[in-house]
């Protein structure tokens, strides 16, 4: 039994003051990832600051930008009327994650901060550079069926497990971050990191910072969209490969495209070069196939995940085809 202190506050400033004073303190929201990590000995915070009662649960459309509080639950966000109408791609991505029970308590901020599901990361008897820098990577040359094919390094080939984040990466979201020094905003696609030589860092949130919200500009991607998640079971399983696809169409011509993938990299994998390729082209299967080839340019597999080299392009073609076919 490892002792820890538990504190709860209803004031953002107090939460920021508490976290900045104590390097061994951490925030707890829904607890659906953090508590598992504590039980398995992967992490051992000395102080938990419960942020569930902070006033960060609003979902509001202001001047054509959707503002989402970081403590909104995953199910609350998916069921919100504005999200359903204007950001249905995000709704689908959220509904693909975890189970209904988990989505009821999992929060937006916690979902972004959830750690990889790499088995070696959770097993404290195994080497893992992410859990213990310098100890090696058990997955390279080991069991790596779920692992990355893009943006890997010699230190780590883990993937970010979130579905919601793939939708947010595709929709040009911004992350709102507060600290004792004030507020800053960064592009969602710059929030998560590639592993490089520092795989212990999942993202660019600094110590003492709190995610307070997400902002998404209104777009024209609420008609032709699809979130395709390929997984071992039809629910309650993480993605082998997922694709968030959205097309803005004028008849058959692609005016604009958005494409991001999950289950393939250490961060949600936005495919901006492929989006540029599709822009102005006809929405045909031949063009979707060419786009999928372009997407796979830098892919590299590690043995047990070789199948993703086929699954990923096929998933892109399927997601774009379904997106196009929506009335
Ligand atoms: C069995 C199972 C299956 C799952 N399947 C899926 C799936 O298919 N797809 C998917 O996307 N997810 C899946 N999940 C993951 C789930 O979505 C996450 O565990 C959840 O979103 C985390 O949110 P939380 O609020 O519970 O975070 P917590 O566990 O409370 O916190 C996680 C981390 O985030 C930090 N944190 C939380 N909020 C903030 C904030 N506002 N600012 C800064 N730091 C913060 C905490 O300090 C902690 O380090 C699954 C989980 C389980 C247990
Ligand atoms: S892939 Fe990353 S998380 Fe998994 S064992 Fe290697 S270093 Fe650890």
User: Strand (E) positions, 3-149?
Assistant: 5-8, 25-28, 47-50, 59-62, 65-69
Q: Which of the ligands is closest to the CA of residue 237?
A: 1
Report how far apart, in Å, the C-alpha atoms of 135 and of each of 140, 252, 275 are.
13, 53, 39
Per-residue model confidence as pLDDT tens digits over 214-262? 999 999 999 999 999 999 998 889 999 999 999 999 999 999 999 999 9
Alpha helices in 180-296 (DSSP H): 272-278, 285-295
- Beta carbons within 10 angstroms of residue 132's beta carbon: 14
Q: Give the CA-trace dihedral at 73, 78, 79, 85, to 10 degrees.
A: 140
Q: Rounded to the nearest whole angstrom, what is the distance from the C-alpha of residue 122 to the centroid of ligand 2?
A: 10
Cβ of residue 268 lying under 6 Å from some atom of ligand 2: no
| Closest ligand 2 atom, residue 155 Cα | 7
The two structure tokens encoding residue 159:
């993937």
- Report whether residue 129 contacts ligand 2, using a CB cutoff of 6 Å: yes
Q: How many CB atoms lie within 10 A of CB 246?
A: 28
Q: What is the pTM of this model?
A: 0.98
The reply to whether ligand 2 has any atom less than 6 angstroms from the CB of 157 is yes
Give one DSSP letter per residue of 145-185, joined into a string.
Answer: TT--SSS--SS-------SHHHHHHHTT-EEEEEETTEEEE
Starting from the edge strand earliest in sequence, which strands make up the sheet with 47-50, in order?
Answer: 5-8, 47-50, 25-28
Degrees to nearest 5, angle at CA 295 with 128 and 324: 120
Q: Which of 110, 162, 180, 241 to mutate to test the pocket of ligand 1 (most atoms within 8 A of CB)?
A: 110
Q: pLDDT by residue (tens digit) across 110-158?
A: 999 999 999 999 999 999 999 999 999 999 999 999 999 999 999 999 9
Tell me, using a 6 A CB cutoff, whether residue 120 lines ligand 2: yes
Please check whether residue 97 is in contact with residue 103, taking contact to mean a CB–CB distance below 8 angstroms.
yes
- Ligand 2 contact, 259 CB (< 6 A): no
Residue whose CB lies within 8 A of the most ligand 1 atoms, among 6, 28, 32, 164, for a mutation test: 32
């Amino acid at each position: 039994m490892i002792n820890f202190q538990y504190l709860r506050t209803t004031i953002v400033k107090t939460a920021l003051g508490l976290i900045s004073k104590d390097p061994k303190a951490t925030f707890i929201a829904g607890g659906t990832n953090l508590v598992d990590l504590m039980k398995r000995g992967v992490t051992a915070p000395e102080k938990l600051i419960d942020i569930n009662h902070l006033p960060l649960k609003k979902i509001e459309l202001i001047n054509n930008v959707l503002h989402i509080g970081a403590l909104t639950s995953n199910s609350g966000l998916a069921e919100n009327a504005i999200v359903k109408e204007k950001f249905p791609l995000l709704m689908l991505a959220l509904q693909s994650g975890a189970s209904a029970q988990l989505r009821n308590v999992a929060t937006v901020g916690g979902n972004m901060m959830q750690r990889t599901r790499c088995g070696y990361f959770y097993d404290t008897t195994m080497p893992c550079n992410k859990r213990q820098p310098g100890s090696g990577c058990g997955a390279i040359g080991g069991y790596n069926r779920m692992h990355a094919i893009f943006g890997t390094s010699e230190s780590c080939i883990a993937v970010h497990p979130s579905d919601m984040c793939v939708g947010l990466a595709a929709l040009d979201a911004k992350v709102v971050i507060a600290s004792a020094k004030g507020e800053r905003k960064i592009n969602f696609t710059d929030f998560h990191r590639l592993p490089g030589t520092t795989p212990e860092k999942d993202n660019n949130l600094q110590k003492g910072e709190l995610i307070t919200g997400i902002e998404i500009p209104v777009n024209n991607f609420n008609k032709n969209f699809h979130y395709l998640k390929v997984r071992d079971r039809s629910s309650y399983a993480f993605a082998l490969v997922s694709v968030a696809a959205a097309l803005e169409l004028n008849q058959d011509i692609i005016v604009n495209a958005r494409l991001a993938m999950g289950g393939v990299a250490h961060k949600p994998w936005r495919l901006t070069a492929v989006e540029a390729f599709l822009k102005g082209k006809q929405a045909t299967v031949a063009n979707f196939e060419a786009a999928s080839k372009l997407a796979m340019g830098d892919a590299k597999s590690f043995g047990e995940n070789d199948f993703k080299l086929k699954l990923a392009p096929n998933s892109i073609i399927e997601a774009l085809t379904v997106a196009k076919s929506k009335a």
